[in-house]
Amino acid sequence: MHGKMKKVLIALTTALVMAGPSMEVLAAPERGKGFLVSARDVQRIGEQARRGQYPQKRNADMLIRIANESWRYGSMASTFGTVRRGGSIYDKHCVKLSSPNTVRMLPIGGNLIFAKALAYNLTGNESYARQVRGLLLELARSSGYNKVSGRVNYSGENQCALDLNLFLPILIDSAIMLESWSGWSGADKYALQKWLSDVPYKTAAAIARSRKNNWGTTAAFAGWAIGHYLIGTNLMLDETYPVSRRLTPAHARISHMWSQMNMMGNDWRGDSRCSDHGIQSDGGIPNELRRGSTGCDGSYLRTKDSSYNYQLMTISHMVYHAEAVRRHINNELWNYKGSYSSPLIRKAIKFVISNPDVNHTWKLSELGVLRIASHSYPDWAICQELRRSNPYHVREGLYIPFTKLLRPEDDC
């Protein structure tokens, strides 16, 4: 990067960080208050389930069955890396280098860790909490996520960078759920916080500052979540790419709010492969639509192919981030309109389910995204989709799981 451009980027980022969203709060986070739910809320659901209240009992029973699954990935205290299994650019996997068959360990394993943290608060059974504590402290001794073949790589070749950023919010939510347990000590929490600052943050920040696609949206939330979780500590957060800088956790949280707005809006181009970028007036996200038959400029989804899948995936990152911000600060991401007259996340959702040209149903396995969104957008089309929910499918998503249990009121 040329020296002049580097100076401009540093000055611009510093100005945005220091200005920040209008109502940003810098106080330490409330103990036990997660991005989707608080530990006390889960305990209350557990009390309702024990009284046989419906649907809490059914949903709690299904969650506990998942939480009782054994951990099948071995130790998390490992060096991770990206390996290729074929010639396709998509045939890459993040694995423990000592055990290359551990494919998708981070996103799928994160789901199970969260289930066990929730099960502790539902039941009070400390065996779940002990399992979560052990896994989190193992993870705090892991490394390698920023490298491919031993070299630092923040490009699309590095599947570990994506999997880690997908995993981090639910990991931090799991740790927050443990704050209701006396066995999760201050030293335990600090060990996890120190690892977050030393290892994942650099990767999350590098991708959030450079990628204009689903990699960027999940990295922006991961960076925000780390900053949020570290507020109140003496830890600093270092960035090395595309420019070097050091931020306090509070300033990192502000900055990655802006990172997500950059993803959503049309001013910042990043590494966009489409001439238009950001959520468009019709709700399409060009850099995701280009992956299938719809293409960069499509005004509707032609079919449920990669364009559909990536549009939904990117929306899920924005929804989780917007809800975390709402619960801890304000509605700024839910309400963010960019240069248009209505909220961008709502536009992106309606591009799929309420498009004047062609509508598509939402994935039944990912309805948790709409369940969370319905709190801020009580839209008829969203409510219609939620009525399709399978009452015996409690997971409702890999990235935003268990919303049917955690947010039963968000059902229109």
The 3-state secondary structure of the chain reads: CCHHHHHHHHHHHHHHHHHCCCCCCCCCCCCCECCCCEHHHHHHHHHHHHCCCCCHHHHHHHHHHHHCCCCCCCCCCCEEEEEECCCCCCCEEEEECCECCCCCHHHHHHHHHHHHHHHHHHHCCHHHHHHHHHHHHHHCCCECCCEECCEECCCCCCHHHHHHHHHHHHHHHHHHHHHHCCCCCHHHHHHHHHHHHHCHHHHHHHHHCCCCCHHHHHHHHHHHHHHHHHCCCCCCEEECCCCCEEECHHHHHHHHHHHHHHHHCCCCCCCCCCCCCCCCCCCCCHHHHCCCCCCCCCCCCCCCCHHHHHHHHHHHHHHHHHHHHHHHCCCHHHHCCCCCCCCHHHHHHHHHHCCCCCCCCCCHHHCHHHHHHHHHCCCHHHHHHHCCCCCCCCCCCCCCCCHHHHCCCCCC
pTM for the model: 0.93
Query: Is residue 257 located within the same domain as residue 281?
Result: no
Query: Is residue 96 located within the same domain as residue 241?
Result: yes
Q: Which domain, by its residues, includes 181?
A: 1-24+38-264
Query: Is residue 247 located within the same domain as residue 284?
Result: no
Query: Is residue 326 located within the same domain as residue 246?
Result: no
32 within a domain of the structure (yes/no)? no
Query: Is residue 166 located within the same domain as residue 200?
Result: yes
Q: In the predicted model, is pLDDT for residue 3 greater than 70? A: no
Query: Is residue 241 located within the same domain as residue 379?
Result: no
Total domains in the fold of the chain = 2
What share of the chain in percent tops pLDDT 90? 84
Q: Report pLDDT digits (tens) over 342-401.
A: 999 999 999 999 999 999 999 999 999 999 999 999 999 999 999 999 888 899 999 999
Q: Report pLDDT digits (tens) over 188-245.
A: 999 999 999 999 999 999 999 999 999 999 999 999 999 999 999 999 999 999 999 9
